[in-house]
Amino acid sequence: MYKTMTPGPTNVRENVRMARSLETTNPDIDPSFCEFYKETCDLLGQLMHTKNNVYILGGEGILGLEAACASLTEPGDRVLVLDNGIFGRGFADFVTMYGGEAVSFVSDYHKPIDVAELEEFLRKDADFKYATIVHCDTPSGVLNPIEQICKLLASYGVLTVVDSVAGMFGEHVNVDESKIDILCGGSQKALSAPPGLTMLWVSDKAIDAMEKRQTPIASFYANILNFKNYYKEKWFPYTMPISDIYGLRAAVDNVIADKNILERHGKIASAARAAIIAGGLELYLEKGFSNTVTVIKVPEGFTDKQILETMKRTYNVMISGCFDILAGKVIRIGHMGENANTEDMKLVLESLTKTLKDINFPVKCNMAEVFINQLNK
C-alpha cells in the first residue's frame, strides 16, 4: 500500500472503517435510522455554524454541485459563474445542462477572486438568479474569500451556491454569517471518510426558490426538494447508503473531538509551503493559499511523471498531478483531514527531496528538516 497524500480521497481512521462494518438495519422503514440520520445532519449544521436544512445524499461530492444547479436552474435563468479555477469554470456545465445561461466572471487563476472587482462588475449587471463559487479550487489550491463574496452577492439579491468540498473542516466556514444559500461538501476530503457521500446545507431562501419554479426540476436523483420532508414523513426518496453514513458519523465525531483542527491545518500548510520554497521549487499560486492542498510547479526541464512515478515506485508515496489546463504543469500534495499531520508530511517531504535528487534536480535543502524547523518556531 502507498502512503496516499493526494488532495482527496484522504486517509481514513480505523474507527471510521469499523463503523462502516457495523450490522445494518433497513434504512427505508426503521425509524431509528431516520433519527440517526437527522442527528448526524444536525451535527453537520453545528459544525458549519448554521440552522439551515442539512441533507446527506448518496453520491460523491460532485452530486451536490449538480443537485444545487439542477434544483435551482430553470431554462433561461441567468447564473453568475465565478471562474478563477478549473472547478470554478466547471460549474457552467451544470448550469447549461439544465437550460440556464452561464455568465462567467473570470479572474486570474493564480490568486483569489478580488471582491472589489466583483463588486464593480455587479454594479453594472446583477440580474442573476444565483451565483456559483468554489471555496478551495483543488487543482490550483486557491482559496476564495467566500464570506465576503457571498455577503456581497446577497446584498444584490443573488442566491449563492458554494463548493467547499476541499475546503470545509480544513478552513473556517460559517454559513449563516456568510449568507450562503447552498453549501456543498463531500465525505472524502478533510472530513476523512471514504468517497461516496455528498452533504448539502440549504437555506430556506433556496428552498423557496426551488418551490416557486415555473417548471419541474429536470432530475429525480439530483432534486433537493425530494429530501425536504424526509423527517416529517419518515421517508427517504431512495434507499440511503447506511454503512457509508455510519462511517460518516464516526468521522463527524472525530472532527468534533479535534478542537484544534483548523489551527493544525494552518500550521502544517504554512510549514510545508516554506519547506518547498526553501528546496528551490516554485508554488503555482501568487497568493490565497489553501490550508488543505499545496500545488507546486513542475520544474522546467522535468516532467510531472518523473516526480510522481519515482515517489511511488521508489519511496511508496503517492501524491498527484493535475488535469485540464494544469495537466503536466503541477504536482499536488494533500494535507487535509487525517493527512494533515507532522509525521506524514515529513515523510512526503523527505521522499520528495530524495526524488528530486534522483532525477537530478538541484534541490537546495532537505525539505523535511525545514518543515520540522518551521513547525517548531
Instruction: Establish if 3 belongs to a structural domain.
Output: no
Q: Verify that 54 and 68 share a domain, yes or no.
A: yes
Would you write out the chain's pLDDT as a tens digit for each of its 377 residues?
899 999 999 999 999 999 999 999 999 999 999 999 999 999 999 999 999 999 999 999 999 999 999 999 999 999 999 999 999 999 999 999 999 999 999 999 999 999 999 999 999 999 999 999 999 999 999 999 999 999 999 999 999 999 999 999 999 999 999 999 999 999 999 999 999 999 999 999 999 999 999 999 999 999 999 999 999 999 999 999 999 999 999 999 999 999 999 999 999 999 999 999 999 999 999 999 999 999 999 999 999 999 999 999 999 999 999 999 999 999 999 999 999 999 999 999 999 999 999 999 999 999 999 999 999 98
Do 72 and 122 contact (CB within 8 A), yes or no? no
Give the pLDDT confidence score for residue 377 in this predicted structure.
86
Q: Cell for 235?
A: 421517508
- Which sign, positive or negative, has the C-alpha torsion 119, 121, 126, 131? negative
Q: Verify that 265 and 210 share a domain, yes or no.
A: no
Q: Last residue of a domain, which of 213, 242, 257? A: 257
Q: Verify that 246 and 281 share a domain, yes or no.
A: no
Q: Verify that 366 and 219 share a domain, yes or no.
A: no
Q: Verify that 230 and 178 share a domain, yes or no.
A: yes
Domain hosting residue 133, numbered range: 14-257
Q: Residue 20's domain is classified under what CATH number?
A: 3.40.640.10
Q: How many domains does the chain have?
A: 2
Instruction: Report the 10 Å Cβ neighbour count for 108.
Output: 14
Q: Residue 320's domain is classified under what CATH number?
A: 3.90.1150.10
Beta bridge partners, 318, equal 4
Q: Verify that 201 and 270 share a domain, yes or no.
A: no
